[in-house]
Amino acid sequence: MATNDYMKFVTEQFVRYMDQPKEERKKLREKRKQEKPPFLYHWFGMIPFSLKLLFRRKS
């Protein structure tokens, strides 16, 4: 991708973002936060999940 094309793309995305109302931007940000997996699962995979199940089963 040429530099000019990239700058055009970035500018279009920025203008589209700034045209949205502030409330809508906040809603989209909150929605993205809720869709993200928990921190431990994201960074360490299934190990915390399996340990949680193991300890839950023992108690």
Tell me which amino acid residue 27 is: K
Q: Considering its fold, how many domains does the chain have in total?
A: 1
1-56: pLDDT as tens digits? 688 999 999 999 999 999 999 999 999 999 998 988 877 777 787 888 888 888 88
pTM (two decimals): 0.49
d(CA 26, CA 32): 10
The CA-atom distances, in angstroms, between 42 and each of 26, 34, 35, 47, 50 are 23, 13, 12, 11, 14
17 CB contacts (<8 Å, ≥6 apart)?
25
* Structural domain boundaries enclosing 29: 3-58
